[in-house]
Structure 1
Amino acid sequence: MTSRRPTSGRGATLTRDVAPGIHRLEHAYVNCYLVEEAGAVTVVDAAFPSTWRHLLSALSEIGRSLADVSALVLTHAHFDHVGFAARAVQELQVPVWVHPADRRLAAHPYRYQRERTPFLYPFMYPKSVGVISAMAAAGALTVKGVSDVRELPSSGVLDVPGHPTVVFSPGHTNGHCALHFADRDALVTGDALVTLDPYKGARGAQIIAGAATANSSLALDSLTPLAETGATIVLPGHGEPWLDGIRSAVQAAKATGAA
């Protein structure tokens, strides 16, 4: 049964069991996921520095603690997904997994490739202003990089709680990876496919605008391996879960195209 409630503190919401044993922590328009297996937890993505306190509340809500966190997996290494990663390494000594093509970006999360300058987007897409403002208030400008990482493979099953299959899906970043939890019929798409584009403020299945995407053409091509998973539950890095299946999400994202 899914329950949705704010965590203690401002601006974060925990939705339990968006897929079996997977919980969505949304903070300032960025999603993290807590994946349970046999009493241990994998955290997927790290949002912002101030998300840490919301992570503590979310773990408590599901009957877990920091001691139960066994791994942090980054779908990619943009600043809004690296947020508390350095703190997790320092305080928890847990492995942080990131694809080798994003390893340098993880250490320097603001030095990312993009097709277009982001500065014009608030004028072109006024709906994005509230989203970007919330991210800034959550610490988007103060993220510390993390260099003590393990290399996420491009394929195969990752030996962390939940045992996801890695789906290499570059384009948004060079090393972007989605995570397929086949036994739960769920796919964490990160920013390879989202249902909210922070740079446009637009909702619906889509890739993220060129303001934060390295190669939109490659990002659109990477939707194909996502579709091939056949997952029913789609859990994006931004926006609400898509429950009509990855194939319909991919179809919608391709129809929307790049921006």
Structure 2
Amino acid sequence: MARERDGVTGVAEGVYRLHKAGVNCYLVVAGDGMTLIDAGVPGTWPLLERALGEVRARASDIDAVILTHGHFDHVGLSRRLADEHGVESHIHPADALLAQHPYRYAHESPRWLYPFRHPGGIPILAAMAAAGAFGVKGITPVVDVVPTQPLEVPGGLVPVWSPGHTNGHCGFHLVDRGILFSGDALVTLDPYTGRTGPRVVARAATADASTALVSLQNLGATEATLVLPGHGRPYEGDVRRAVKDALRQKVA
């Protein structure tokens, strides 16, 4: 399958998907303000400006960045938003150190082997590199994301505990709308292999695959009907079906 073109897509009312180099982040526009879920790679910035332009807003109008986890390809805009626009990033305590050092992450398998074993991931990783993924600066986040406790940010997001990919990974649930931002706990594109469909990210970037597979049950318990992952296209339909599909896949 050809790599999806970069762009901005409205995926639900007031929810914009910014997809750059196989990486997604999401702008949520609510009546009481705006929240950015994950911060992509540095090359996502023009897409963020485009999405903001559609709602006649500026970067400084964003109330908060909520991070599913601290990997480099999810905090790419966080430093710029903080330094230039005063927008803080929020994360679970177990991923706070990772957000400060976004390349120092635990992984079960050697990363250098994957281009040889899974050449389908090469174009994606190359696109990420071109989008600045390997020059991301860490941040000092606000450490206040607590599973099941609604966040005091526009949109009323509820954190969903989903460790495994990282130690402090959380998805975010828009309960009233049945929308789940699954981060990298459940994706529809594995950037390390190029494989598509619901799955857990390869061991090259996952700290504990066994825990990640168990965490899928927490995502399924939300009973969301629209899943917006950190990598890959949105999944429309019962999240429990996506979880079943992911559990059938061998983690690469």
**TM-score, reference length from structure 1:** 0.93
- CA positional deviation for 1:67: 3.1
Q: 1:95–1:150: 8 Å Cα contact kept in structure 2?
A: no
Please state if 1:247 is matched with 2:250: no
Q: Deviations over 1:120-164 (max 9, x none)?
A: 111111111100000000001100000143321122111101111
Q: 1:31–1:237: 8 Å Cα contact kept in structure 2?
A: yes
In 1: Cα distance, 2:46 partner to 2:14 partner: 21
54-63 or 226-235, which deviates more: 54-63
Q: 1:19–1:184: 8 Å Cα contact kept in structure 2?
A: no
Matches within 5 A, 1:92-111: 92-111=85-104
Partner of 2:166: 173
In 2: Cα distance, 1:251 partner to 1:240 partner: 18
Partner of 1:50: 43
- CA positional deviation for 1:91: 1.4
Q: Percent identity?
A: 49
Partner of 1:3: none
Partner of 2:222: 229
**TM-score, reference length from structure 2:** 0.95
Q: 2:99–2:141: 8 Å Cα contact kept in structure 1?
A: no
Please state if 1:71 is matched with 2:49: no
Partner of 1:257: 250
Provide the secondary structure at the position in 1 that maps to 2:34: strand
Partner of 2:8: 14
- CA positional deviation for 1:68: 2.1
Matches within 5 A, 1:74-89: 74-89=67-82
Provide the secondary structure at the position in 2 that maps to 1:141: helix
Q: 2:148–2:160: 8 Å Cα contact kept in structure 1?
A: yes
In 2: Cα distance, 1:223 partner to 1:63 partner: 37
In 2: Cα distance, 1:148 partner to 1:21 partner: 25
51-60 or 225-234, which deviates more: 51-60
Q: 2:147–2:158: 8 Å Cα contact kept in structure 1?
A: no
RMSD: 1.3
- CA positional deviation for 1:54: 2.0
Structure 2 gaps, min length 5: none
In 2: Cα distance, 1:67 partner to 1:38 partner: 17
Which stretches of structure 1, 4 residues or more, deviate above 4 A after TM superposition? Answer: none
Please state if 1:189 is matched with 2:176: no
Structure 1 gaps, min length 5: 1-5
In 2: Cα distance, 1:24 partner to 1:148 partner: 23
Please state if 1:238 is matched with 2:241: no
2:21 corresponds, among 15, 28, 33, to 28
In 2: Cα distance, 1:39 partner to 1:168 partner: 25
Provide the secondary structure at the position in 2 that maps to 1:50: helix
Q: Which amino acid aligns with 2:149?
A: G
Q: 1:178–1:190: 8 Å Cα contact kept in structure 2?
A: yes
Q: 1:20–1:184: 8 Å Cα contact kept in structure 2?
A: no
Matches within 5 A, 1:107-186: 107-186=100-179
Q: Which amino acid aligns with 1:160?
A: V
In 2: Cα distance, 1:121 partner to 1:64 partner: 41
Q: 2:20–2:43: 8 Å Cα contact kept in structure 1?
A: no
Partner of 1:41: 34
- CA positional deviation for 1:118: 1.0
Provide the secondary structure at the position in 2 that maps to 1:180: strand
In 2: Cα distance, 1:115 partner to 1:192 partner: 15
